Each structure stands twice: as C-alpha cells, then as structure tokens.
Chain A
C-alpha cells in the first residue's frame, strides 16, 4: 500500500512503465517464493517434456510415413488420374475465398497490409519447404496467387457494385454442387464411387454437408421450441431432448443400420449420405439450443414493436427477430460447427475413410507398423489448424458485430 502524497494526486495519467526483461521476469515470474517455486517447477517439467519430445521427433520418429502417404491423407483412394478435378475444386474454393475476402474487406485498409503480405509469403515458403507439399508446389503456389488476385479483384468489384455480397453467397451455395459434381463425377465426368472418396476431402465434404443440412432444421426446431403453440413446442422439445441424450457414435452407427430400415423395402441410401444425414439430424438438436439462446436474448419489445407496426408472425420472425437472434448466437453456432467438424472423425468408426479413417488404414499397412505417434500428430495438426481458424474467424466476426452497436 502506497501512502497518498500530494505528488501522487496530480492529474497526469500514470506513466506506462516499459519493463526491462529482468524487471519483467521479477514481476511476472518471481514476485514471491510461491511464484518462484511455480516457475521453477513449470520450467523443469516443460523443459524435460520439450527435450524428450524434440529428441523423439528428431531421432526416433520416422516421419517418412507422412510424405509417402500424403495423397492418401488428402484425397483417400480417389483415382490419381482424376486428381485434376480435385485441383479444380481447390481452385474454385480459393477463388471464392479470395473474392469474399476482397468483397467483405473492401472497406478495411489492412487487406494487403504488411502483415497480410508476410502471411502470404509464409504460406508460400511453407509450401516450398514442407516436404509433402513440395511435389505439388507448382500447383499450390498459383492457388495462393489466385486468392490474392481474387481478393484484389473482389475489392474493386465490391466498390463498384456494393450489392455484390449477395451474389458471392449465392456463388458459395452453387460451389457446393460444383464440388459434388467434381468429386463424384456424372454429367459428363467419369463417375467416382463413394467408396473412393476419402481423406481430408471427405472430412471437409461431410462437415460442410452436415452444416448446410443441419442449419435449416436447427432453426426450425429452435423456433418450434420457442413457439407459443403447445403442440409445436412439445414436438420440438421432445426431438431436441431425445437426440441430445444419445451419444453421437450410437446415432451414427444406428443411422447406418436403421436408416435403410425406416425407408421402403429395398431402398438403401449411400453410406456417406446416411452418415451425413445422421450427423445433420444430430447437430440440428444442438444448433437449435444455440439459436434458442439467441432468441431468448432478443428483447421482448422488439417483437411487440414489430407487431404494432402490423407485421404478422412470419415477417416479424424473418425480418426482426431472427437476424438479431442469429447475430447473438454466432459464437455458439460457430462452436457447434467446430464440434461438428471434429465429430466427422467418428465416421471412421462406421467405416468411412475420412482423415482419421485413412490414418487407421495407413497404420494397418505393415510398412508403417507402430507409427502411431507420427500419424496422429500430423492429423492433430490438420484438425487443429481448421478448428483454430474457425474459432479465430468467429472471434473476429463477434468483435466486428460488437462495434456496430
């Protein structure tokens, strides 16, 4: 406790002290004996762990399993003669991503700021240096360029036609069907059996399909649960609570077995379709709860004001309530999408060769016996990258929406 002297009462704001490294360490690491003890113990454990990990990674680990199977990890057993279609799909996604970046960020000056350019440079360096991507770096580098060009183009177009955002969303929606066409074939392309869909492509495809399908259902269920009509409310509540009480793996497994039983005799939807349906039916119940929380957070007055303006129930919901509720629920919804993305790993249990399933099948290969740690660490990095990117994006959106108030 410092005593108050006339000096310290002066109205100047306190000086911001830039601590030297020693002072910083003293303040944050060694402020008292307990703190110092903690620091020593943590440094000891961390140092030992990192040393063990590094010595394992550099001497014991045999990383060859990753580059040798990189194609399998990315696309599963997709026929290598048709890889051009996967590249085309990646190009479409990169182009659209760049375009939306340009259109959404057209008013943000950091679009091509120094840090973003450094980031792009780092991605290029990674592509050139990381062994598994090196053979395809001639294809990956133009993708990065495509993102940048599309972003710059999107910025220009977005300035000229401010309403372009809607069309970009529509393009994303259409790209889903383009992706389906490119992966699966048909309509002029050689068909690829769903048995050959796999790896990261299948993971992303099932995750996106699950998200697309569960969203409308979840929205309806949330509205149903908040509805003033008792029958609708009861039905939605029963569905949500029953689904939320069952583990996903049971849902997926029984989805594989029972969906054919619930359909007319002889009809048997594709394995992947069954998995996606089970995933979507499951996630919808969770999404509904997130949206419900958002709906509850919209003040009563909003509905009353809309009603007094003469809007009927559907227009009140669509124009007044839902936009606000969804905005509030964005973090929770993104969290739900992240967990849906992670949940696609369970598809490996029902025999689909998505990322983890491919990992399992590679580990079953006698040539790579016992390479568990290497394969699982590699997969962990991929999943971590996607999930962390999603949560980072949601945090940014949240911040952006907050400042609009």
Chain B
C-alpha cells in the first residue's frame, strides 16, 4: 500500500479482496438470514395464534387442571392448577432420573469391569449384554418390559412373594419401606450423609498413610463409628413396614412401586448401563498396560490393582462421557409417558391437549429439561475437577 493516507478513495475491488471485509460481511449476512427466517416463522406463529384466538402467555397455568394423576410425591387433587400438576410430573421424573442414575452407575460399572474379568463366561456375558441392548431401540425395550415381562406377572390373587419381604404382581412391586415419608427422607439423608462422610474419611486416611507411612487408625475407627451409626439409623430408626399379602390378593404396608415406574426404571437402567459399560471399558483400556504390570509387581492382587491403581486413573476418561449418558437418561425418561407413567412430559401433553397451547407447553418443557441437564453438568464438572491430575 503506497497510497498516501489522506486520499482514501473508495476502492470496491480492493475491498472485495480483503478478508476482513468478508469476515464482517459473512456475519452480517448470516445474522440477516437467521433474523429473516425467525421473523418469517414467528410472524406466521403470531398470525396463526391470533387466528385461533390465543395470545401467547402463561396465565393458563393457574387454571384448574381437572385431571387426576395416578401417582405423585406431593399432594395433588384434580382441581389443583396446571402448574401444580406439572410439579407432580417433575417429581415423578425426578424419582425416575435419580433412581435411574444410581442404578445405571452401579450396573454400568459392574458390566464394564466385568468385561476385564478373568472369567471367560462373565467377560463374554458383559460383551453380549452390551451388543444386544445397544442395538435395540429403547422404546421397544420399554414396551417389552412393561407388556411382556411385568405385564406377564400373575394377578394380585396369585402374586409372587419374595422371601416374605417383597411381592410382585401385575400391578407393581411391593418393597419394605419406612412407615412415614418423613422417616424415609431421614433414612435417605442419613445414607447420603454417611456415604459422603465415609468418602472423606477414607481419603483422609489414604492421604495420611501416603504422607507419613503409618497411622490412619483414628480415621478407621471414625469410619467404623459412621458405619455403625448409619446401620443403627437404618435398622432401628426407620420403623420399617414390610408388605404383607392379603387373603384373596393385594398387599398392605410397604411401598408400592407401580408397574409403570418399575418397567420404565428397568428399561432405562438396562439401556443406559450398556453405554456406561462401554464408557467404563474404554476408560479402563486407556490406562496404560504398564500401570497394571507395575501394580502387580508391587504384589497387589487383581481386585486391588483395579480399585487402587487402574480405576482412579480411568475415572478421568470416564467422567466426561458419563455426564452425557446421565443427560440422555434424563431426556429418555420422557419415553415413560408411552406406558402412561405420569412424568413431566406426559403431564405436559395432557396440559397441551386440554388447553391447546403448544408453544407455551413446549417452552415449559424445554426449560425444565434444560435446567435438569444443566444441574447434572454442574455436579459432574465439580466431580470431574476432583479427579483431575493435581499438578504442583
């Protein structure tokens, strides 16, 4: 450029050749196209809604819902407002998701580790499970569990008792449970609290033993105390009620898990676990072979090698994809509506059918699932940070 800076004559050709111009122009064009498309769609939406006589707004959520819901965690009566019905749905979704995540993690990790078992049968079993379950659609599996397995259980008159502790019939599964909801929450809180305390104590003990080479006795005792306290709360404090079969069919006491819930949970857990098992397998495989060999040389047995050396390292590879599996499980829980489990999607569809407000219902649903997924991501990221390499 040898132009003097005073005479900035407009040079179209130079501008068209300039990459900076194109960078800005491309963005402006993209933005314009997106805005045009959006205004076209939203304009149509607006016109369509006006033609149907419905202005956009959420005030309908305060109208009475007028439908009953089969199962709910919170108090709900049919003339409660729509938002309360949606809360019931959210509660049911949460029971499904939380139960699903816990069981999926356990089953998935077991199946993933099993694929490294010395036992040929167990190893093959794990591979067959993954290859079978991953390649069959979840909805089909859900129908299979609901109609073909749990639907084929005998009717309440001929129900199956399991060791006198639980009952199975085609209306659901009956398990021992605390005598009141408050006690049940207490028990769950105690379990979670004890688990967290035990985790911290265990880490503290390991740290002391690594740094000083001895000790950890105090922590071991504390660990035992925590375990005893938890056992005491669980066995004595919960006031367990055991389901009892009634003459001529039916069950009193205990907790009834509806057939819809049990089938959804089973299908979700079996399906997602197969993916988790693959993630765990890939994670374990990513730990270099030398780590196994070094640990074996130190005299650790196979179980300890896995627990102390390989698995902690594999966790770094495992946790990020686990996040997306948990999110998939959350989103897939919406399929439970296909077998009439009243989770949030099912309640939302009923709401839409009654009020004819697709846009608002969709926004509510989108916001709910996005929030759930975001929560999972936040927790998992926190967890991920704790297993990363500590570089000093």
Given known contacts A231-B27, A245-B366, A247-B331, A380 and B359 CB-to-CB distance under 8 angstroms:
no
Separation of A29 and B373 alpha carbons in the complex (Å): 43
Give the contacts of B14-54 with A (CB-CB under 8 A). Answer: 19, 23, 26-27, 30-31, 34, 41-42, 44-45, 47-49, 51
Q: Cβ of A262 < 8 Å from any Cβ of B?
A: yes
The interface residues of chain B lying within 8 Å CB-to-CB of A376 are 140, 143-144, 147-148
Stretch from B128-136, B192-200, B211-219 that touches the partner: B128-136
Separation of A244 and B333 alpha carbons in the complex (Å): 15
* Chain B residue at minimal CB-CB distance from A388: B135
**Least distance between A335 CB and chain B CB atoms (Å):** 9
Asked if A383 and B136 sit within 8 Å, CB to CB, the answer is: yes
Stretch from B61-69, B114-122, B174-182, B246-254 that touches the partner: B114-122
Q: Cβ of B228 < 8 Å from any Cβ of A?
A: no
Asked if A250 and B352 sit within 8 Å, CB to CB, the answer is: no
Q: Could you tell me which B residues sit within 8 Å of A by CB distance?
A: 19, 23, 26-27, 30-31, 34, 41-42, 44-45, 47-49, 51, 117-122, 125, 131-132, 134-141, 143-144, 147-148, 151-152, 327, 331-335, 337-338, 345, 348-349, 352, 358-359, 362, 365-366, 369-370, 373-374
Size of the A side of the interface (Cβ < 8 Å), in residues, is: 55
Separation of A313 and B352 alpha carbons in the complex (Å): 47
Q: Cβ of A345 < 8 Å from any Cβ of B?
A: yes
The interface residues of chain B lying within 8 Å CB-to-CB of A372 are 143-144, 147-148, 151-152
Given known contacts A231-B31, A242-B370, A343 and B137 CB-to-CB distance under 8 angstroms:
yes
Asked if B140 and A380 sit within 8 Å, CB to CB, the answer is: yes
The interface residues of chain B lying within 8 Å CB-to-CB of A230 are 27
The interface residues of chain B lying within 8 Å CB-to-CB of A245 are 331, 366, 369-370, 373-374
Separation of A97 and B51 alpha carbons in the complex (Å): 50
**Least distance between B30 CB and chain A CB atoms (Å):** 5
Separation of A391 and B117 alpha carbons in the complex (Å): 24
Q: Cβ of A189 < 8 Å from any Cβ of B?
A: no
- Most A CB atoms within 10 A — which of B152, B327, B331? B331
* Chain A residue at minimal CB-CB distance from B144: A376
Asked if B30 and A232 sit within 8 Å, CB to CB, the answer is: yes
Stretch from A34-42, A137-145, A156-164, A320-328 that touches the partner: A34-42
Given known contacts A231-B30, A261-B48, A250 and B362 CB-to-CB distance under 8 angstroms:
yes
Separation of A312 and B26 alpha carbons in the complex (Å): 14
Partner of A342, one of B47, B137, B352: B137
Asked if B332 and A258 sit within 8 Å, CB to CB, the answer is: no
Q: Could you tell me which A residues sit within 8 Å of B by CB distance?
A: 28-29, 31, 35, 38-39, 42-43, 46, 228-232, 235, 242, 244-250, 253-254, 257-258, 260-265, 312-313, 338, 342-343, 345-346, 348-349, 356, 363, 372-373, 376-377, 379-380, 383-384, 387-388, 391
* Count of chain A to chain B residue pairs whose CB atoms are closer than 8 Å in the complex: 158
Partner of B135, one of A248, A377, A387: A387
Given known contacts A29-B120, A247-B331, A258-B358, A346 and B139 CB-to-CB distance under 8 angstroms:
yes
The interface residues of chain B lying within 8 Å CB-to-CB of A348 are 139
The interface residues of chain B lying within 8 Å CB-to-CB of A253 are 349
* Chain A residue at minimal CB-CB distance from B345: A250
Separation of A146 and B291 alpha carbons in the complex (Å): 53
Asked if B118 and A28 sit within 8 Å, CB to CB, the answer is: yes
Asked if A391 and B135 sit within 8 Å, CB to CB, the answer is: yes
22 contacts between A and B (CB under 8 A): A228-B23, A230-B27, A245-B331, A245-B369, A247-B334, A248-B331, A249-B337, A254-B358, A262-B41, A263-B41, A265-B47, A343-B137, A356-B143, A372-B147, A372-B148, A373-B148, A373-B152, A376-B147, A380-B140, A384-B132, A384-B135, A388-B131
**Least distance between B118 CB and chain A CB atoms (Å):** 6
Partner of A247, one of B26, B125, B332, B352: B332
* Chain A residue at minimal CB-CB distance from B296: A1
Separation of A370 and B299 alpha carbons in the complex (Å): 57
Separation of A343 and B139 alpha carbons in the complex (Å): 8
* Chain A residue at minimal CB-CB distance from B335: A249
The interface residues of chain B lying within 8 Å CB-to-CB of A383 are 135-137, 140
Separation of A29 and B123 alpha carbons in the complex (Å): 11
Given known contacts A247-B334, A262-B44, A342-B138, A35 and B26 CB-to-CB distance under 8 angstroms:
no
Separation of A31 and B301 alpha carbons in the complex (Å): 14
**Least distance between B297 CB and chain A CB atoms (Å):** 10
The interface residues of chain B lying within 8 Å CB-to-CB of A349 are 139, 338
The interface residues of chain A lying within 8 Å CB-to-CB of B125 are 42, 46
Asked if A249 and B136 sit within 8 Å, CB to CB, the answer is: no
Partner of B358, one of A43, A261, A343, A380: A261
**Least distance between A71 CB and chain B CB atoms (Å):** 21
The interface residues of chain A lying within 8 Å CB-to-CB of B332 are 247
* Chain A residue at minimal CB-CB distance from B373: A245
Asked if A235 and B30 sit within 8 Å, CB to CB, the answer is: yes
The interface residues of chain A lying within 8 Å CB-to-CB of B148 are 372-373, 376-377
The interface residues of chain B lying within 8 Å CB-to-CB of A263 are 41, 44
Given known contacts A235-B30, A342-B137, A247 and B345 CB-to-CB distance under 8 angstroms:
yes
The interface residues of chain A lying within 8 Å CB-to-CB of B19 are 312-313
The interface residues of chain A lying within 8 Å CB-to-CB of B369 are 245-247, 250
The interface residues of chain B lying within 8 Å CB-to-CB of A345 are 137-140
